[in-house]
């Protein structure tokens, strides 16, 4: 069993920041109340999701626009939908070395490293399988139809099985500043790591500014916090599966950390009473089938949190929990279909907010 592409949606994690009151929209906006020291919040649609940058000092607002420039820069490198991106050029020129930016080399090396460490549960060459299922688009169109789709939207077993052998990160070759994909039937897709990588780059930029106060980066549910001291924390709400985006099962305090959730409710559709979600098992080619509804990863680097959230989900509760506890500075929250919550040993500040759930 391997991994899937992941595009974490806003419902993966919810910010519980009392000082913030804003409605998400696809256009850019900012809010700041000088008298009450409320945050400056800027949001716009990018990376196929809502991106929100929040700072907590008026002088820091001058840095926010640059964040969106950084996002656009990397989106232009990593996107699979833009013909001139580095990743698109690699995919459309198989068996040839393609010159790319150093950041593309860096994120691909991180992808390969994670694939190696998870025995292929994370695999950036999953692109054609993801395209075949087209779950994100089908889920979007099915929202007004009780999430139901017709059976002819389910790919045939023959098509699925034909793609599985081509999901192999070892077919990515890196030579200096060039990359080759050694399989014309494969496709690189960085959806499972790109937002985390970009969030880390924004944090690096903020650290160089430097900020006068704390900040929070939210790339469609990939959350990264910047705090001036360890005692200065954010309360982050963990989404209640299959519920409204303001419903949570619990909340946790974090400081200078990334938090990313993968859940079967983020993008899914139903067919003949069966749920088909976006977290794909790249050994079988079908959505991962286990007792988990969501997994939340908490770790300093957003790149790692992003890649781990889906791969650890694919491992299942027991193996996933054991794997996270073998890593340094990394914690996880597992939520099962029978409303049980499992925490790794290092989590101390988690609090349930829904009595239907129990901590094990």
Q: DSSP E strands: which ranges in the chain?
A: 13-15, 40-46, 49-55, 98-99, 172-175, 178-181, 215-219, 222-226, 234-239, 248-254, 258-263, 268-271, 274-277, 292-299, 331-336, 340-343, 350-352, 358-359
Report the CATH superfamily, name and number, of domain 10-359: ApbE-like domains (3.10.520.10)
User: What is the tens place of the pLDDT at every residue in 110-155?
Assistant: 999 999 999 999 999 999 999 999 988 888 887 777 888 888 999 9
Q: Which residue has the higher pLDDT, 232 or 316?
A: 316
CA distances from 112 to 41, 105, 203, 345 (A): 35, 10, 23, 28
CA gap 310, 177 in Å, rounded: 28
Average pLDDT over residues 216-243: 89
Q: Is 123 among the annotated ligand-binding positions? A: no
CA gap 50, 261 in Å, rounded: 16
Neighbours of 239 (CB within 10 A): 28
Cβ pair 134, 280 in contact under 8 A: no
User: What is the tens place of the pLDDT at every residue in 24-81?
Assistant: 332 233 333 343 357 889 999 998 889 999 998 888 888 999 999 999 999 999 999 9
- Residues pairing with 269 in the sheet: 276
pLDDT value, residue 37: 57
Q: Is 200 among the annotated ligand-binding positions? A: no
pLDDT value, residue 143: 75
Cβ pair 46, 206 in contact under 8 A: no
pLDDT value, residue 200: 97
pTM of the model: 0.88
263 φ, ψ to 5°?
Answer: -145, 155
Average pLDDT, the chain: 88
Q: Is 316 among the annotated ligand-binding positions? A: no
Average pLDDT over residues 160-184: 98
């Amino acid at each position: 069993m391997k991994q899937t592409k992941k595009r974490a949606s806003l419902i993966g994690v919810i910010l519980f920041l009392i000082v913030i009151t804003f409605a998400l929209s696809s256009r850019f906006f900012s809010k700041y109340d000088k008298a009450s020291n409320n945050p400056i919040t800027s949001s716009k649609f990018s990376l196929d999701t809502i991106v929100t940058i929040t700072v907590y000092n008026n002088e820091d607002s001058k840095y926010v626009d640059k964040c969106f420039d950084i996002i656009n820069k990397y989106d232009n490198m990593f996107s699979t939908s833009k013909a001139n991106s580095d990743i698109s050029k690699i995919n459309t020129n198989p068996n040839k070395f393609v010159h790319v930016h150093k950041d593309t080399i860096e994120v691909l090396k991180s992808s390969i490293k994670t694939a190696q460490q998870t025995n292929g549960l994370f695999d950036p060459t999953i692109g054609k399988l993801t395209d075949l299922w087209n779950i994100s688009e089908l889920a979007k169109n099915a929202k007004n139809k009780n999430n139901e789709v017709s059976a002819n939207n389910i790919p045939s077993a023959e098509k699925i099985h034909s793609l599985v052998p081509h999901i192999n990160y070892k077919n990515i070759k890196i030579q200096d500043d060039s990359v080759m994909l050694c399989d014309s039937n494969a496709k690189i897709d960085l959806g499972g790591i790109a937002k985390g990588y970009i969030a880390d780059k924004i944090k690096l930029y903020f650290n160089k500014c430097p900020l006068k106060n704390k900040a929070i980066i939210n790339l469609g549910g990939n959350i990264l916090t910047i705090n001036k001291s360890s005692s200065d924390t954010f309360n982050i709400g963990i989404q209640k599966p299959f519920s409204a985006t303001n419903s949570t099962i619990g909340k946790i305090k974090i400081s200078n950390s990334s938090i990313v959730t993968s859940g079967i409710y983020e993008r899914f559709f139903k067919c003949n009473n069966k749920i088909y979600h976006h977290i794909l098992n790249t050994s079988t080619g079908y959505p991962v089938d286990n007792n988990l509804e969501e997994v939340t990863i908490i770790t300093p680097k957003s790149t790692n949190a992003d890649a781990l959230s889906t791969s650890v989900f694919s491992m299942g509760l027991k193996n996933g929990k054991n794997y996270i506890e073998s890593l340094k500075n990394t914690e996880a929250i597992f939520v099962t279909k029978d409303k049980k919550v499992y925490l790794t040993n290092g989590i101390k500040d988690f609090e349930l907010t829904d009595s239907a759930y129990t901590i094990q």
